[in-house]
Each structure stands twice: as structure tokens, then as C-alpha cells.
A and B are shown apart, each in its own frame.
Chain A
Amino acid sequence: MHIAEGFLPPAHAIGWTIAAAPFVVHGARAVVTEVRENPESTLLLGAAGAFTFVLSAIKLPSITGSSSHPTGTGLGAVLFRPPVMALLGTVVLLFQALLLAHGGLTTLGANAFSMAVVGPWAGYAAYRLVRRSGGGLLPGVFAAMAVADLATYVTTALQLAWAHPDAASGFAGAAAKFLSVFAFTQVPLAIGEGLLGVLLFRVLVVSARPELERLGVLRRTPEPDEAPVAEAAPGGER
């Protein structure tokens, strides 16, 4: 759910751009450092950005009858960490505004704040929480993707409520209105995106284990010939 061009008053558009800027600059610094240390990661990061963009072309059937598309920010946060997603998410939002007429240029800051900053950080926090409390990879991924989606939607609804407060009940009334109107599509989408994440990781664990280990999502399994040596060493030959 992106705020369309021209939907926010100028002061809000500028304010949200200033709010998102430090996170995006921090992400850009992380990318610059990464590229300096490993020049080949330019292509991997570009591929990650392209994948996030393309993910929005996957239509998920929704219980409410409509179909909606995943945002992929929770997935990005688990795979590439939130600082990198702040930058990649902003690049993807710019592309979506100019290639899909989805979002806008003056609302880019507000959309980046909700989708590239709040979503990934909230999703990543949920992922870490589930993993720390003993949950497996798949429950963690479900939490990351669903929470990232919900956090993005709640932030967008609050941004809209702040920009267009209710004539009688002010910000609180407007927040209730925007949260409930968009809940019809966004809550089923969040659950759907969580499920998609689980199905995606079930395939990845089998077919792309080395990549997941390299990204630190899965712990590196010892090589088959490493383990016996480590075990055999103290006791000598068996």
C-alpha cells in the first residue's frame, strides 16, 4: 500500500523525507562499504533489488476475493538485514513510482519510511524474537513477513490520518478510519505474505542452502569430512 503522488500536503511530504533520510543514508553507507570490500556484491545487491521489485508482480489470491501482491520487505530484512533494505526498498519504491505508477515522487519519503524503514525493522525484530525464544526458521520467517506487512500498513494509515485528521474527532478518529478501511485488504495480505514466506523458505532450505548459510540465515553445517575428524581427535583412532 503506497501513498499516491500528491496525496500528502507539502509539509508532510518534506517531513517524512527528512525522517526517512538518515535510515536511507545509513543503508547507502552499508552498501558502499560492502561494495568496497566485495566488489562482486554490487551484482548480488542489484539482484536483490530486482527480486524485491519482481515479487510485487506475484499475485496472491486473497480471502476477500481480490488479489494482492506481497511487499517483500520482511523477506528482504531476513535475507539482507534492515539497513540494506532501507536503501534497496527506497530504490524499489522509486522504480515502482516510475515504472508502475505505484506511489509517487513527493510521497517517496513517506512511503520509504513505512515500507523501507518501519516494515523491515519491525519484521526483523519479530524474526529475532521468534528465533531467540526457540522458534524455528519457518515460524520466524512467517512472523517477519506478516509483521513487516502489518507494520507498513499501520504506519501508512497513521501517516494518512496525520495528514488528513477527522473534522470532529481529529487524529484518533482519522487513524481508526484509515486503519479499518485498509484492514480489509492488508490483514489478509499480511497473513498471505507470511504463508508465502514459509512456502518460499521450505524450497530455499533444500535448493539454496549454501546461499542461506552465506547470508547467515542458516548456521553453517560442518562439511561431511570435517565432523569425524573433530570427533575422532581426542580419542585417537577408532
Chain B
Amino acid sequence: MTGLAIDDAAWASAWRLRSPADKLLLSGGLVLAALVLPAWPGSVLVGLAAVVLALGPARVPARTFGRAVRLPLAFILIGALTAVVQVGDGGLGWAPDAAAQAGGLVAHAVAGSAAVLLLATTTPMSDLLPALHRLRVPDAVVEVASVTYRMLFVLLTSLSTIREAQAARMGHASIRNSYRSSGMLAAAVLTRSWDRARRLSDGLAGRGMETGLRVLPEVLPSSPRFVATTLAGLAALVTVGLVGA
């Protein structure tokens, strides 16, 4: 358990050992289809496909997936409602095609979020970062991102431990106390992150590894069958999405 439910799901997923490039093709295709196809039936079908694939073959726990999809919902609903309220001379009112417009926005956003989650809940970040090399992102940047990923779990653990200790000492009993504790919490986590980085750096330098943390990426071969099924499925989705509209 790492403290981030989506990351835990990614490590435990049945698709964990599939090639990240294959999963990027599938999720990327679904994300683009959710964005460009008409909301009905295109985005709805994309959303359904992402949910069925995640809960079915990829065996992502329904609870984790459901919770994660729910997170952006508040923004999506408030944003969609705001977009279809009309500001006129007579005050506020609904735009002429409010229901269709709001429905379209929600469908695009929920389907897109589900497609991103399909990638997020099946592929750990450490599998995705080497793909940045292929996109010609400089090594130094990929390494900084890798260190960020590796260090954030340690810092999250520190954060929850310190917060628990503060709460046990009534550190969050009032708003005033809570702000004071939050300031100290942020300072403690920041100084710990610096300390940790310095010690890691000293440890690596002592072992002659001055160019950073070089690790061999795990080789996860691409499956021609998965790629062919993905392409056929995406083509079918696009066809139904365009013809059905």
C-alpha cells in the first residue's frame, strides 16, 4: 500500500505486465475519441468502454475506480451548470439548449476522465516515465520526475504521521490551531524533503553514481493481438459514434 489508491490499483492490476505503449495507445485513443466524437452516442460509448475494460479484463477494484471517477465530478457539474446559465438583461436564466449543452459537456468530461483513469489504474508511473525518453524529453527532466515519483510516498507518509501526532495533541481543534499546525506541518515536510535529498545524494556519490539514479527499465513486450484488438475496437467506436450521431 502506498497511500494513493490509484497507484495501488495500478500495481495490482491484471494489466500491470502489459506493455505501457499498448495501454497508452488504448487509453490515448479513448481520450481522443471522448473529446472529438459527438457526445451522443460517441462519448457515452467511450465512457462505457473504459469502465468495462477497467473493471473487466484489467480487474481494477470497482470501489477504487468509482471513487476516482467521482473526484472530478464536482468540478464537472459546477462547470457545466455555470456554462449553461445565461446572463441576460433580465438577470439569470437558462441558455436555449441548456440541457443538451450541459449533457454534452458532462458526457465528454466523464468519458475522458474514465479513459485517463483506465491508463492510471493499470500503469504505474514508473512504467510511464521511460516513455518520456522516447518523446525526446531530456534525461535530466525525466530523472527529476522519477525522483519526484519515488519521493512523494515517503513525504506522504511523513505528512500523515506528523498530522496524526498534531491531531492527537489537539493541534487541529480550532481554525487558529489548525492553521498554525498546517504551517508547521508544511515546514516539517519541506525540511524533511531537503534532508532526504541531501542524504540520498551523499549516498549515491559515495557509490560513485554521480549522474543520478539509473535503473534498467523493465522490459514489457508489446502484444500484437492487444494492439490489433485496440485498433479494431477504436475504429468500431468511431464508426458507431459518427453514424449514430
Stretch of B55-63, B181-189, B217-225, B227-235 on the interface side: B181-189
Inter-chain contacts of B75 with A (CB < 8 A): 1-4, 7
**Given A98-B120, A178-B82, are A46 and B144 also a contact pair (CB < 8 Å)?**
yes
B1 at interface (Cβ–Cβ under 8 A)?
no
Residue in A50, A55, A87, A106 whose beta carbon sits within 8 Å of that of B35 in the complex? A106
Cβ contact within 8 Å between A160 and B191? no
CB neighbors of B among A200-214 (8 A): 200, 202-204, 207-208, 211
**Given A7-B109, A58-B159, are A91 and B144 also a contact pair (CB < 8 Å)?**
yes
- Which of B6, B140, B179, B184 has the most chain A CB within a 10 Å cutoff? B140
A61 at interface (Cβ–Cβ under 8 A)?
yes
CB neighbors of A among B45-76 (8 A): 68-69, 71-72, 75-76
**Given A49-B148, A177-B87, A200-B183, are A42 and B4 also a contact pair (CB < 8 Å)?**
no
A111–B61 Cα distance when bound, in Å, is 29
A43–B149 Cα distance when bound, in Å, is 11
Cβ contact within 8 Å between B212 and A164? no
Cβ contact within 8 Å between A48 and B193? yes
Cβ contact within 8 Å between B190 and A13? no
Residue in B116, B186, B196 whose beta carbon sits within 8 Å of that of A104 in the complex? B116
Cβ contact within 8 Å between B113 and A6? yes
Q: How large is the interface on A (under 10, 10 to 19, 20 to 34, 35 or more residues)?
A: 35 or more
A97 at interface (Cβ–Cβ under 8 A)?
yes
**Given A36-B140, A46-B197, A99-B120, are A166 and B86 also a contact pair (CB < 8 Å)?**
yes
Cβ contact within 8 Å between B179 and A7? no
Cβ contact within 8 Å between A49 and B147? yes
A181–B78 Cα distance when bound, in Å, is 8
Query: Shortest beta-carbon distance, B7 to chain A, in Å?
Result: 6
**Given A2-B75, A6-B108, are A100 and B151 also a contact pair (CB < 8 Å)?**
no
Inter-chain contacts of B82 with A (CB < 8 A): 160, 177-178, 181
Inter-chain contacts of A46 with B (CB < 8 A): 143-148, 150-151, 197
A46–B147 Cα distance when bound, in Å, is 5
Query: Shortest beta-carbon distance, B242 to chain A, in Å?
Result: 15
**Given A5-B116, A60-B179, A101-B71, are A43 and B201 also a contact pair (CB < 8 Å)?**
yes
Cβ contact within 8 Å between A5 and B197? no
**Given A5-B112, A31-B144, A196-B183, are A208 and B194 also a contact pair (CB < 8 Å)?**
yes
CB neighbors of B among A166-190 (8 A): 166-169, 173-174, 176-178, 181-182
A18 at interface (Cβ–Cβ under 8 A)?
no
Cβ contact within 8 Å between B87 and A173? yes
Cβ contact within 8 Å between B125 and A49? no
Cβ contact within 8 Å between B113 and A4? yes
A61–B155 Cα distance when bound, in Å, is 21
Inter-chain contacts of A103 with B (CB < 8 A): 72
Cβ contact within 8 Å between B4 and A100? yes
* Interchain Cβ contacts under 8 Å between A and B, 26 examples: A6-B108, A6-B111, A7-B79, A31-B141, A40-B198, A46-B144, A46-B150, A47-B147, A50-B151, A51-B190, A54-B152, A57-B156, A57-B159, A58-B185, A91-B144, A95-B125, A98-B116, A101-B69, A104-B113, A166-B86, A167-B86, A169-B86, A173-B86, A174-B83, A178-B79, A211-B191
Name B residues whose Cβ lies closer than 8 Å to a Cβ of A.
4, 6-7, 31-32, 34-36, 43, 68-69, 71-72, 75-76, 78-79, 82-83, 85-88, 95-96, 105, 108-113, 115-117, 119-120, 125, 128, 137-138, 140-141, 143-152, 154-156, 159, 175, 178-180, 182-191, 193-194, 196-198, 200-201, 204-205, 210-213
Known contacts A54-B152, A95-B149; 15 additional CB pairs below 8 A are A5-B115, A39-B210, A40-B198, A40-B205, A46-B145, A50-B154, A51-B193, A58-B182, A61-B179, A101-B120, A168-B87, A168-B95, A177-B82, A177-B87, A203-B184
Name A residues whose Cβ lies closer than 8 Å to a Cβ of B.
1-7, 9-10, 13, 28, 31-32, 35-36, 39-40, 42-51, 53-55, 57-61, 87-88, 91-92, 94-95, 97-106, 160, 164, 166-169, 173-174, 176-178, 181-182, 192, 195-196, 198-200, 202-204, 207-208, 211
